[in-house]
Chains A and B, each alone.
Chain A
Amino acid sequence: MLCIEVELLAGRYTATAYNDRTRAEWPPHPARFFSALVASLHDHEPVDDQERAALLWLETQSPPSMVVDTTTVNEQLGRREVRDVFVPVNDIGVAAAVEPKLRAAEAAIQSACAAIAGERHAPVTKAQATQLNKLNKELEKAQNQLAKLQLSLKDTSSASAVELAAARAILPEHRTRQVRTFPAVFPSATCFRYVWSEDPTATDRAALDRLCDRVTRLGHSSSLVRCIIVDEETVPNLVPDPDGELVLRTVGPGQLARLEREYERHQSVSSRVLPARPQRYGRVAARDERPTYPHTVFADDWIVFERIDHVRHAQRGQKLQSSRPLSSRGTDLARALRLALLEAHGGRDLPTSLSGHARDGTPAEIPHIAFAALPHVNYEHADGSVKGVAIILPRSLSSVDRDTLFGLIAEWERTRSVDSEQTVMELGGASLSPFFVRRTEYPALRALNPTTWCKPSTRFITATPIALDRYPGNLRSNFAGTAHRASREAQQSIAAACVRIGLPAPLSVEISSSALLPGSQAAHDFMPARKPGQHVRVRVHASIWFAEPVRGPVILGAGRYLGLGLCLPVRT
């Protein structure tokens, strides 16, 4: 076992979350710590071979567990409110433009003088005389240039508006300021630990210890730390967990080389993104065994696209704004996404698991990929707006089909992106205002995080209504008997829908035409999902209880492949 302890010497940790620059990161990600070790490695040039080998060993290890304070830092506690701080700029000045020219003139003079000095002997041939003349002329020209520039510094005749403003802004009290933010957290326990299960060799351990000794900060320079390998038995409280809610960035083999390569480019000055692997972490369960919950035919690693509100069109150059549709327009977005991928495919035979149709055109019997618009629901200020769209994969998707799907997405990004980085695409359609999306691996918003929709629970409530597979009867009949029977039919239909997607039959189902979650919309706001000639399917909201916790994603009913019947697991 290798256990490294880090103490926040000033009690504070300032580091920006990778997916939300207005928030502080906590707990400190293992990838960030690895970067700190790499920075220490490069304290000495040339790099120490043993230290390098030790880091190469460390990067091959599986993601570490952690002992870290997770109770005193959460949404409400331990975080300083992020406020704009105005930092004085330094790129201001009156002589700033002149300085590089002066330097160039001086350099020209020096090289001319050196060249002349090189011609030690008096010129004998005409060519040598001409050469010397030329060098002397260059020297004179550079000297004149220098004199002229130096004179310009003394020039008090003109005063353009720009120069006046610069002169005023350079004085300390009036210095122009630039906005920066410094998100910080203050955990009650200032020490935390990373724990790897494997033992390093004695050489590697000693090298790692030397590296740890040189780690002075983690995150911003104001997060000064103390770092040391500890020997005692350590019981982690945060471990890698596929069901965990936290996503921390970790490293994999090749990270050291990648970081060193990236450094050549950014030199710690340009903006850069830390290469990393996402790893879900969860708090250690109280019980010894993690129970396995029943799950649906759909998987919980989705392909998520987040809504991008503003994008600059690459060709037209204009700034475009995305629409902010409510979840009732979600099926249009889902359809648009599906069509975009079909178009990227180009009409050749798509496997059933992707197209949703068998060879002969009939609807597929097997589960296939679903498209869902993800609405912001269930929180105090939830407005039901669509935050993004996701492609939900069936668990049974073969790796070949999976690769095909990724190929389609890549093709879509390549051919249909609107911005210069080729990452933002437009979902459009006849009835749809432009909606811009970008694929994201680390969604910041809860609505876009698959865990929000997939975590185990005994109770699920619809965020978008279920389109019932069969007509239940008149739910709004004035005759009590009819309405009641229709209601029973609907409930049974929903129970059957649960079974169809692989869940056990629910304990009870309650239906409603009005929204059951804050932010979601009434059932009748959703456009019916139908083909021409078909009857309109009845849409209802539902609250479903199961006897034991089940794991999502739970999408039910006839419209499930287009995002209708998307249910949110709620706490009971």
Chain B
Amino acid sequence: MIEANAVVPTLKRLTDFVAGGAVALRGRAVLEPAGGPGDKVFPPTHLIDKNARDAGAKYAAERRVIEGAVQDCVLLDSVQSQANRMEEALQALWADKRISLPVIAVDFSKVAADVGRVTSLTAPHRVADALLRDSLLNGTLFRLSDLGKSFTDATPRNAAPLFRVCPTGLVFGVWDSTGPKGGLGSKFARALVSEIVGVGAVYGTKTSSRIDPAGIVNKAAEVLQAADPNDGWTHDPALAAKDSKGTALKKGDGKATEVNHSNFPPTLDALGGGVTIDHAQHTVVISLAALRKLSFGTHDTDARTVLAALGVLAILAAEDRGHDLRSRCLLVPREGHALALSAVKRDGSTEPLSLDLNGAIELYNESVRALPEDLRFKTGPGEPLATLSPSPKLAHLVQKSRELAAAGVDLEEP
């Protein structure tokens, strides 16, 4: 809940915090299922032992003591997943031309239209990702181009090269473990941690079933593999693929359900059947002390302030998009308990802050404008710092592998 004495932070105040006035910025929110308390939500599932029998076994649960009472809790969105969502939110703001941010993009639209554009914000390992490494910038492999070489030697003491190319890497962490220096490549720990945990978890059962709108009965016909691969399946033995003895080959077990017709009787899944929660706690922390470990050669505080503002912006941008975590898991802030930020001082005392998304955008843009010449972002809002293209070999291989996948050919594990 935003406290009565919460102050809207100015750039000056944020700079003071970053310079040493605060250890961290922390935000807390109380969320509830969009359907109201007591509605079922679906947490992320994990692989479990096949002998597991407990209700909710696929979820990551914990029993915590909260305000003196033992509560069953369940993880609703992990630190890594939250980081991905925040980066996506930043990318949306950038694509909307509301903020300027160095972004490196790889355009896959000609090769794989559904993949589209992959950027240093959405690639799994950010600017150090294999996808960027395999792509070309003006005909040269990215990491061999001037831009790609510029941040190879970045370290916390020499963070400027990475700041100019991928500042989100300094906030969310990045490890260039497969770059030119292998395991000794640039390694930056995350400075931002965000997590959503459901409280008061009671596990439920999920049912899956289907009623065929055409009323096809399962035994209506025997489903056979078609001789012509374009057809997929047939019921006519004359048109079916045959084995060496001349008998028609069944598709799967030969029932109509094999090709998605007929009814599917309900299955009950208690291992991953969703959970009802009383509420969810969203906790987010930006460690300003971690940002203070970064040196840029000059104007350290200005660069660190940009990173702090970027972190705050990421949090509020993700908040603004709503917590639509996955299918049947939409969370909304409880009345009066939207995300409230505060600055945590060295002695543990806190100073409440009041900031909304527009305020965060303004704060960030102001901090970016205050950057010195050699750290300034070279591109405007919505403009990528560089657009890479997949190498012809990669493009060819991606297309070919998709053709094969569509034809049902199984590809080896790499």
Contacts and interface: CB of A to CB of B under 8 A. Distances in A.
A505 B348 CA distance: 56
B379 interface: no
Contact of A95 (B63, B134, B292, B413): B134
Interface residues of A, number: 74
B394 A77 contact: no
A290 to B, nearest CB: 29
Nearest to A12: B195
B70 A77 contact: yes
Interface in B167-204: 173, 177-178, 180, 183-184, 187, 189-191, 193, 195
B6 to A, nearest CB: 19
Interface stretch (B136-144, B236-244, B300-308): B136-144
B120 to A, nearest CB: 12
Nearest to B135: A95
Contacts of A84: 46-47
A77 B400 contact: no
B347 A228 contact: yes
Nearest to A154: B392
Nearest to B394: A94
A10 B414 CA distance: 38
Given A155-B393, A186-B64, A214-B292, A176 B346 contact: no
A214 B26 CA distance: 18
B78 interface: yes
Interface string A142-178: 0000000010111110010111111111111101100
Contacts of B285: 9-10, 224
B391 A168 contact: no
A216 B287 contact: yes
A133 to B, nearest CB: 29
Interface in A214-234: 214-217, 221-222, 224, 226, 228
Contacts of A155: 392-393
Nearest to A78: B64
A40 to B, nearest CB: 9
B31 to A, nearest CB: 16
Given A90-B129, A95-B391, A153-B141, A78 B411 contact: no
B250 to A, nearest CB: 29
A200 interface: no
Given A95-B133, A164-B401, A77 B63 contact: yes
A94 B61 contact: no
Nearest to B122: A172
A162 B400 CA distance: 13
Contacts of A358: none
A191 B348 contact: yes
A103 interface: yes
A77 B69 CA distance: 11
Interface residues of B, number: 82
Nearest to B68: A188
Nearest to B125: A90
A100 B177 CA distance: 14
A99 interface: yes
Contacts of A176: 413-414
Contact of B180 (A10, A12, A78, A103): A103
Contacts of B398: 167-168, 171
B143 A99 contact: yes
A168 B405 contact: yes
Nearest to A86: B47
Contacts of A96: 130, 133-134, 178
A49 B128 CA distance: 36
Contacts of B130: 90-93, 96, 170
B80 A164 contact: no
A267 B413 contact: no
Interface string B101-144: 00000001000100100100011110011110110100101011
A214 B61 CA distance: 33
A484 B394 CA distance: 87
B131 A171 contact: yes
A510 interface: no
Interface in B373-414: 391-398, 400-402, 404-405, 411-414
A145 to B, nearest CB: 14
B293 to A, nearest CB: 6
B366 interface: no
B63 A78 contact: yes
A99 B391 contact: no
B411 A168 contact: yes
Given A9-B24, A95-B391, A72 B144 contact: no
A162 B414 contact: yes
A169 B107 CA distance: 17
B123 A172 contact: yes
Nearest to B131: A170
5 A-B pairs closest in CB distance: A167-B397, A83-B46, A156-B396, A72-B65, A88-B124
Interface of B: 23-24, 26, 46-48, 60-66, 68, 70, 73, 75, 78-80, 108, 112, 115, 118, 122-125, 128-131, 133-134, 136, 139, 141, 143-144, 156-157, 173, 177-178, 180, 183-184, 187, 189-191, 193, 195, 283-285, 287, 289-290, 292-293, 344, 346-348, 391-398, 400-402, 404-405, 411-414
Given A72-B64, A83-B46, A217-B287, 5 more contacts: A81-B62, A88-B125, A168-B402, A172-B131, A224-B287
